[in-house]
Amino acid sequence: MMDLDLISKTDHIPVLIEPIIKNISPVRGVWIDATFGAGGYSRALLDAGADFVFAIDRDPNVFSLAEKWLNKYSGRIELINDVFSNLEKHADDVNGVVFDLGVSSMQLDQAARGFSFLKEGPLDMRMSQTGPTAADLVNSVSEKILGNILYFFGEERASRRIAKAIISRREKELFETTTDLARVIEKVLPRSKPGQSHPATRSFQALRIAVNKEYEELFDGLFSAEKSLSVDGYLVVVTFHSIEDRIVKRFIKARTGNLHSTSRYLPDADVLPAQFTQITRKAVKPTANETSINSRARSAKLRIAKRTNCKPGKNLTLAELSVPTVGDYYSA
């Protein structure tokens, strides 16, 4: 068993790493770390016995942080700056793919990246630092679209009131900073009580997801992983909020032949040959010990599936899995 107290003394604590290693042991062969970040999963896989890791991240800034420990794994790891929906272009017939979703603590800690409502910085939120920013979004989309983004991507109950307040403010002055937007949201929602999340938490999550098209990227990444995995290869996914987990859960159900329509008005999806078998029947959650060491793990859920010998199936759509997309709201 891994010593989480020892791991906590390093730069990055890979969430749910103990149950991951337990379920995929013996660790062997070639793996893809689809969300490299600080490299916690790559290092854990290599230390557990993986021969080689392709480490992918869309954020070009993360790789410089790995320089201090890369020499330990010389010849066993390759760093790749790309989105994980392209992972099949970089490796195939791999023994496993691991995803650790959401924004990293490194990104939150850097005010200039614009992810945190607690630190003043430009309202950016781009992981790859290309394309439209969060400021571009809140300063241009309609009130209806903005409300949809906050509601569907952030599950924010006060989405319509917040969207109205944002539109009202931008008519006078455009948004430029994170704290500027956070203050507007705080005026709409009551201040959080001790132990509760900040009033802007859900709105910032929603905008980040929209800016980076995270749900579309995750969905495409899962299909790309399916194509890259060898027979008996592992798909390992750690999620941090309900919609992410729903996408992964329904993808695995579809690819194990167990997906049924969520609406009585829609037909069930075609039953296809199973590309995966489930390893974790239910989502695995962190222990009390892990959350006491690593508060980031509190909302984490782990799902693992193993590749069968069936060839990759046809790609489904997010709509077939009853998951909203950014495109739906930009065209509303």
Domains of the chain: 4-105+214-330 (3.40.50.150), 110-212 (1.10.150.170)
Q: What is the pLDDT of residue 313?
A: 86
What pLDDT, in 10s, does the model give residues 94-145? 999 999 996 666 655 666 576 678 778 999 999 887 889 999 999 999 999 9
Q: What is the pLDDT of residue 8?
A: 40
Strands (E) in 140-246, as ranges, are 229-239
Give the pLDDT band (50/70/90) at residue 9. very low
Integer angstrom CA distances of residue 116 from 44, 172, 188? 28, 24, 19
**Mean pLDDT score of the chain, rounded to an integer?**
87
**DSSP β-bridge partners for residue 49:** none
Which of the given ranges, 86-95, 123-132, 194-203, 289-298, has the highest pLDDT on average?
86-95
Stretch 184-193: mean pLDDT: 85
Distance CA 192, CA 323 (A): 29
DSSP state of 312: P
Q: What is the pLDDT of residue 1?
A: 43
257 pLDDT higher than 90: no
- The share of the chain scoring above pLDDT 90, in percent, equals 66
Distance CA 299, CA 242 (A): 9
Say if CB 119 and CB 200 are below 8 A apart. Answer: no
Q: Map tokens 């690593």 to a residue.
A: 294
Distance CA 282, CA 259 (A): 15
48 pLDDT higher than 80: yes
Q: What is the pLDDT of residue 265?
A: 45
Q: What is the pLDDT of residue 149?
A: 94
306 pLDDT higher than 80: yes
Stretch 292-306: mean pLDDT: 92
In what order do the strands lie in the sheet containing 276-278? 77-81, 52-57, 30-33, 94-100, 229-239, 301-307, 276-278
Integer angstrom CA distances of residue 261 from 118, 247, 267, 303? 41, 14, 6, 21
Give the pLDDT band (50/70/90) at residue 248. very high
What pLDDT, in 10s, does the model give residues 204-223? 999 999 999 888 899 999 99
What is the model's pTM?
0.87
Stretch 86-98: mean pLDDT: 96
- Residue 78, phi then psi, degrees to nearest 5: -125, 125
Q: What is the pairing mode between strands 94-100 and 77-81?
A: unpaired
Q: What is the pLDDT of residue 111?
A: 61
What token pair was written down for 14?
A: 């890979």
Chain center to CA of 231: 25
